[in-house]
Amino acid sequence: MRQLNPRLTVVVAAVAVAAVVIGGVVASRQSPRSIDSDAAPLGGSPSSPAPSVAPSPAPSATPSGAKPPAKPTGTPTSAPVSTPESTPVTKTPGQTGQAVVPLTLDKLGEGRTPQLAHVVGRELRGGPGAALKIPGTGTIVEAVRVGDTALALQDGQGSLKLVRGGYVGDSTEVPDVTTLVASPDGRAAAYASQRQSSTGEQLKGGVVYAEDTSSPVRKLPLPDALDLEVLAYAANRVFYSAKSSARGTAKLYAWTPGRSSASLVKGVLDPTAVSADGRLAASIEAWSNSGTCSFVVEIATGKKLWRACDHMVLGFTPDKSSVIAGPTYADGYAPLSTWILDGSTGAVRREWTGLAFKRVRAEDDEHLLMQVDEGPETKGAIVRCAISTGECERATPLTSGQLKLGG
């Protein structure tokens, strides 16, 4: 089984090429499997110092020659994945409503439009300013906004390319881009490219890019990196993961754009998420010599705060009081449930179910935005759900066209 990608979620079945390219970046990451039935704090509380990281050279070992998946000859499986039985939900003080919330898309009421960047058709909406046109014709895999510029990942001839456009539809492209993220304020973005052979095989070496509304594009060459992936642009730093060899473990690095090297974040292996303030990270690690769990780690110290062995941590609310989680395994179209965990203990606070949850992001401390549909070739929408009550509404109309919740 393959792991759910927390930043580039599953693309609709028609986009086989794009799905494979993304899969090549993260396929070797280990997925957690259930060992304990409950999340468990690991003692203590988060320390107060601002996050810091220890200097370390970028990955340098020579890869062992592993190759990414071959270009597909058919279409991906069209059935949504079954989600394992959920851990019992523990209500927290002030929480109301159902612990497990079944959703029916066409029965939800209409609410306000998403505050976060999102794609409808070939327009990037949300955030400050007017809607921006996304140039090109390829299927959009990811999109973010940087001021008055739209950055989008599109599938194109066996690899993903980053397309840049603005109000007038001008466009520049960067080939072989694997991942794309924006800063929480929408004023900066980071992306990574990985070298490929003419046949689409991953080669060692890549580049991390950063750009904002006031500076030229800055680059960090990583000549020996494999499985290069950006995770977050937080606290004026770009957090990315990379391996030093094909059989190695992905590690987390922090780069301040403009500097010539990055720093290793100690204690974070196989990272899956970084908080918006750059203080917490989620990782996947072995536990009790019998399996793997999802850990929340303090970036400044490397201290593990708690673990969850029945869910995979995929994101944080801005205040870190709640944690977005998915199933430990994902295979097929998209998970059929999504969870919110307590940010202090990892205990399950609420579960939403009944739809295919293609992407879930925190809109603010109290609300989640979910890109959902009922399966391949069905109409979809972006849904807003309140963490404290579980109540949901449609934030966009139902559509059969291109729809994407931005990264």
The pLDDT score that the predictor gives to residue 8 is 35
More confident residue, 258 or 30: 258
* Mean pLDDT value of segment 305-324: 97
The pLDDT score that the predictor gives to residue 160 is 86
The per-residue pLDDT of the chain, averaged, comes to 81
The pLDDT score that the predictor gives to residue 159 is 75
Burial of 115 (0-12, 13-18, 19+ CB in 10 A): middle
pLDDT band at 223 (very low <50, low <70, confident <90, very high): very high
pLDDT band at 382 (very low <50, low <70, confident <90, very high): very high
Lowest mean pLDDT among 50-64, 89-103, 327-341: 50-64
The pLDDT score that the predictor gives to residue 71 is 39
Q: What percent of the chain has pLDDT over 90?
A: 61
The DSSP symbol for 47 reads -
SS3 247: coil
Alpha-carbon distances, residue 336 vs 61, 106, 329 (angstroms): 39, 17, 12
Going from the N-terminus, what domains does the chain have, and what CATH number goes with each? 16-52+82-405 (2.130.10)
The pLDDT score that the predictor gives to residue 172 is 74
The pLDDT score that the predictor gives to residue 91 is 54
SS3 22: helix
Beta strands 100-102 and 348-353, pairing class: parallel
Query: Phi and psi dihedrals of 204, rounded to 5?
Result: -65, 145
Q: Is the pLDDT of residue 49 over 50?
A: no
The pLDDT score that the predictor gives to residue 170 is 55
> pTM of this prediction?
0.79
* Mean pLDDT value of segment 97-119: 95
* Mean pLDDT value of segment 330-346: 93
Lowest mean pLDDT among 70-74, 200-204, 264-268, 341-345: 70-74
Tens-place pLDDT, residues 147-197: 889 999 998 766 788 988 765 445 678 889 999 999 999 999 999 999 988
Tokens 């008055």, located at residue = 148
The pLDDT score that the predictor gives to residue 77 is 38
Burial of 183 (0-12, 13-18, 19+ CB in 10 A): buried
